[in-house]
Amino acid sequence: MSHKKYTKRIAATAGSLACLAAAPAASEAGLVTVTGSPVSLATSAANGTSVTWDIDGVGTGEFRLFRGSSAIYVASNTFLGGTGNGRGMVAPFATDNVLAQVASASVGPGNTFGRGGGSASNGLYRSRNAMYSGGGIGYDFNYGFAPGDNFVGFRFDDGIGGGLNYGWAVFNFDTVNAIVSITEWTYDTLDDTAVHVGTRAGAAVPEPSSLALLACGAVGLMAYRRRRSAAKVVDDAPTELPA
């Protein structure tokens, strides 16, 4: 390859790299992702049956799924006098309504959460929402939820520091076999820190300009091809005119 052609290729490539460097992906520190330990409960379970959702694996679980008289609920583990630090699901519309989250949505202190706990009407519950009722998705999960996997935001107190920890989980509603499961979750160990739904430990958070970057890369590729074609014409030309 001639020096002239090599120089043109470097120039085109450098332009594309400069464009990509303009908006790098950002990572989130302090994230912990848990997979392979699903928490499940069938609607056919006996009334009063419960399973613990231990988010951080330390001490007692933060939440639990339990079979009530009319539905499967997700509640803080303070249910029936137990101990636990669950502080509720995302509920931006009303006290009991949970909103299904979308990928890349932020779950953090700026969100509104349902059933903070402690009131007389709430008893010992920090949070209680009906997940599954009558063979379908429960009446508190009625904003954006569908059979299969759904993203849900949550918060809890890990007992370290004075703030709350935020995270997201995958709630699976198996309407064929009448089973609800929490199949994976990610939370931030840093207090009062927002978590992007779908972002897992060790992963990068795509910047909002990702589509612009894609377009930028396409422009760089076209520029490179044009320069490559021009370079070929120049380099393939005879260096001397015939006598």
Domain assignment present for residue 72? The answer is: yes
pLDDT at 83: 65
Q: Are 155 and 198 in the same domain?
A: yes
Domain assignment present for residue 242? The answer is: no
Q: Are 13 and 39 in the same domain?
A: no
- The sign one gets for the Cα dihedral 174, 178, 183, 185 is positive
Pick the closest to residue 48 from 69, 27, 32 (CA basis).
69
Domain assignment present for residue 144? The answer is: yes
- The sign one gets for the Cα dihedral 222, 224, 229, 234 is positive
Mean pLDDT is lowest, of 83-97, 152-166, 186-200, 212-226, for 212-226
In degrees, rounded to 5, the angle at the alpha carbon of residue 157 between the alpha carbons of residues 156 and 159 is 155
Mean pLDDT is lowest, of 39-48, 102-111, 172-181, 189-198, for 102-111
Q: Which residue has the higher pLDDT, 235 or 71?
A: 71
Q: Are 72 and 158 in the same domain?
A: yes
- The sign one gets for the Cα dihedral 88, 94, 96, 101 is negative
Domain extent at residue 223: 3-24+209-236
Q: Which amino acid is at 73?
A: Y
Domain assignment present for residue 112? The answer is: yes
Question: What is the rounded average pLDDT of the residues 28-33?
Answer: 88
Distance CA 28, CA 208 (A): 15
Q: Which residue has the tokens 């990610």?
A: 186
Band of residue 219 on the pLDDT scale cut at 50, 70, 90: very low
Q: Are 16 and 217 in contact (CB under 8 A)?
A: yes
Q: Which of 76-80, 120-124, 166-170, 210-214 has the largest mean confidence?
A: 166-170
Q: Are 126 and 230 in the same domain?
A: no
Q: Are 155 and 181 in the same domain?
A: yes
Q: Are 180 and 192 in the same domain?
A: yes
Number of domains in the chain: 2
pLDDT at 59: 73
pTM of the model: 0.70
pLDDT at 89: 84
Question: What is the rounded average pLDDT of the residues 71-91?
Answer: 77
Q: Are 116 and 222 in the same domain?
A: no
Q: Are 106 and 12 in the same domain?
A: no
Q: Which residue has the tokens 């063979």?
A: 135
Q: Are 94 and 163 in the same domain?
A: yes
Q: Are 41 and 150 in the same domain?
A: yes
Q: Are 71 and 145 in the same domain?
A: yes
Band of residue 207 on the pLDDT scale cut at 50, 70, 90: very low
Pick the closest to residue 184 from 156, 146, 152, 159 (CA basis).
152
pLDDT at 158: 87
Domain assignment present for residue 157? The answer is: yes
Domain assignment present for residue 229? The answer is: yes
H runs (alpha helix) in the chain: 3-21, 210-236
Tens of pLDDT, residues 54-75:
999 987 789 999 999 889 999 8
Q: Are 104 and 206 in contact (CB under 8 A)?
A: yes
